[in-house]
Chains A and B, each alone.
Chain A
């Protein structure tokens, strides 16, 4: 009877999941225990059947023919190796009992055998060299892939960093909608966005009445640190649609925008609001 612990070790063993000391200890036990050997045998057979659970796939048709071609070379090597291995003891027997001529022949055979072995070794070396080149190529490919991956990740990281910064900045933005205060412009609407880091903003208005030639709309930023609103510049609107989209800056450093306002002023603007307030942020 095999306990669960050994069943577990056997299962992991046949799947190649034991390592180090655990593997060494299990193999020692395995060598001594016939029931454990039978369990490992069974589990190995079972595990091998898992190959059938892979999605069905067909090896390339030419692989079979290529392998059969290569067998010829392998079979020749094997036959020659066997022949040399078989003859050597015979030659040794002859050498022990016969003449110098036979010894010479034996030496000759050894020479031929050695040449064959040398040829085999050369072939093996060629194969090994090829494998080494392949491994190097693969490593180089891996290095290139890794390099590309690193570059890509660096770019992604930079993009993420930019995005985070943008989002961080965005959280500090002052965004307000401005609604009409004037009875004759009930549909007028505006949105103002202030970027405190850059000390600039964007204003988008629509459905503001067209202006007389001697008038301008003037934007104001209300910052509690100043006793009066800060001038944000003048603008006009499209007479047909009442729309305007402008980028503006304040004429003083702004710490905190409490409100935006738009007034109707004389052409060119004024340092302190004089005309009627048209829009005010909510």
Chain B
């Protein structure tokens, strides 16, 4: 349990309650079932990485099955190109395999690590191409030559991932539209702060505040900690 607290203090410390209420209560109650399930997933992922650090191919295959869809979807969303997204995902999984032994759960979850690797690599490519606005404006999964995810043969992992994705999409959709737009641009576009402000035609300070409010609200909705 202490290890879990180390890995997922956010989810075990507090439930997915509203911001104001948590701030008013110094002693957080028991975690919600959702947060506990997320903590369990993170713990399992961390264990898979530890096994990968010992060259366990089966662990790698399991981690691939759990992470590959969201990582590929994110890379494709950023790059707008199926071939490049595939390259990025391959690169990231090889990096995870090579660096698995160095994984430190205290610094973040395995999934957050994988997403960070994917996003950084994808954004580097986008910036190199200097075509970010075109991609954002025109790229869709269909015109990138990608088959949408199949729905007829879901494994248990797939179903959990879909449920998780649904909850996150709902949380994002519940944000005020301007916060949603700012957060999505910040995550997927590869634009700088200033470029985001220009694209949204808003003052830089306004955009920064929207990103802050949006992320904090998502954290609260998804079960994060409040300091």
Interface residues of A (CB under 8 A from B): 1-2, 4, 7-8, 11-12, 14-17, 19, 35, 38-39, 41-60, 63-64, 66-68, 70-71, 74-75, 78-79, 138, 142
B149-167: CB near A (< 8 Å → 1, else 0) gives 1100000000001001100
Interface residue total, chain B, C-beta cutoff 8 A: 73
Contact call A46/B225, Cβ cutoff below 8 A: no
When distances are taken between beta carbons in the complex, the residues of chain B under 8 Å from A2 are 227
Cα-based distance from A78 to B97 in the complex (angstroms): 10
Cα-based distance from A144 to B50 in the complex (angstroms): 45
When distances are taken between beta carbons in the complex, the residues of chain B under 8 Å from A54 are 70, 73-74, 76-77, 188
Can you list 22 contacts pairing A with B, beta carbon distance less than 8 Å?
A11-B212, A15-B187, A17-B193, A38-B225, A44-B108, A45-B10, A45-B219, A46-B219, A47-B115, A48-B116, A50-B74, A50-B172, A50-B183, A51-B118, A51-B119, A57-B76, A58-B150, A59-B69, A59-B86, A67-B90, A71-B60, A138-B129
Contact call A64/B61, Cβ cutoff below 8 A: yes
Q: Does residue B133 face the partner (Cβ distance < 8 Å to A)?
A: no
Task: Closest A residue to B11 by CB, please name it.
Answer: A45
Contact call A43/B73, Cβ cutoff below 8 A: no
Cα-based distance from A48 to B183 in the complex (angstroms): 12
When distances are taken between beta carbons in the complex, the residues of chain B under 8 Å from A16 are 119-120, 123
When distances are taken between beta carbons in the complex, the residues of chain B under 8 Å from A71 are 57, 60, 97
B interface, over-half SS: helix
Chain B nearest CB from A277 CB (Å) reads 61
Interface residues of B (CB under 8 A from A): 9-10, 55, 57, 60-61, 64-65, 68-74, 76-77, 82, 85-86, 89-90, 93-94, 97-98, 107-109, 111-112, 115-116, 118-120, 123, 128-130, 140-141, 146-150, 161, 164-165, 168-169, 172, 183-184, 186-188, 192-193, 196, 208-209, 211-212, 215-216, 218-219, 222, 224-225, 227
Cα-based distance from A7 to B220 in the complex (angstroms): 14
Contact among B85, B108, B172, B227 with A45 in the assembled complex (CB-CB below 8 Å): B108
Task: Closest B residue to A14 by CB, please name it.
Answer: B215
Task: Closest A residue to B123 by CB, please name it.
Answer: A16
Cα-based distance from A154 to B35 in the complex (angstroms): 57
Contact call B10/A41, Cβ cutoff below 8 A: yes
Contact among A42, A48, A57 with B73 in the assembled complex (CB-CB below 8 Å): A57
Contact call B64/A67, Cβ cutoff below 8 A: yes
Contact call B98/A58, Cβ cutoff below 8 A: no
Chain A nearest CB from B69 CB (Å) reads 7
Contact call B86/A41, Cβ cutoff below 8 A: no
When distances are taken between beta carbons in the complex, the residues of chain A under 8 Å from B184 are 50, 53
